[in-house]
Copies of this chain bind each other. A is one copy, B any other.
Amino acid sequence: MDSLALIAIGSVCAAGVCMGLGAIGPAIGEGMALARALSSIAQQPDETNTIVKFLFVGMAMIESTAIYSFVLAMILLFANPFWNYFLEKAGG
């Protein structure tokens, strides 16, 4: 079994696990923030603009951890340095 195939399998599995685990936390964190934000709007409608503005800035920060996972998975699939090296070696 050649090295290229092994690295491909490893990268595919790592990308799957990384994205799968990395989607649990941000979704729950954003859910907690959104839930509290909506009940805050209901209690204090006059502050809707302030609450919503910071809600989405905050959710963007939380989302960033999901995006890190997604970026890492994309790098593993499409810009994998180890794969590129072996490709060049195989093509050289």
Chain A contact-residue range equals: 35 or more
How many copies of this chain does one complex carry? Answer: 14
Residues of B within 8 A of A1 (CB): 1, 3, 6
Residues of B within 8 A of A50 (CB): 41, 45, 48
Classify the interface of chain A: helix, strand, loop or mixed. Answer: helix
Known: A33-B34, A58-B37. A66 touches B17 (CB 8 A): no
Instruction: Tell me, rounded to whole Å, the shortest Cβ–Cβ distance linking A83 to chain B.
Output: 7
Q: List 16 A-B contacts (CB under 8 A).
A: A3-B5, A7-B8, A9-B10, A21-B21, A22-B23, A23-B25, A23-B66, A27-B30, A29-B32, A38-B58, A41-B51, A61-B63, A64-B66, A68-B69, A77-B80, A85-B87
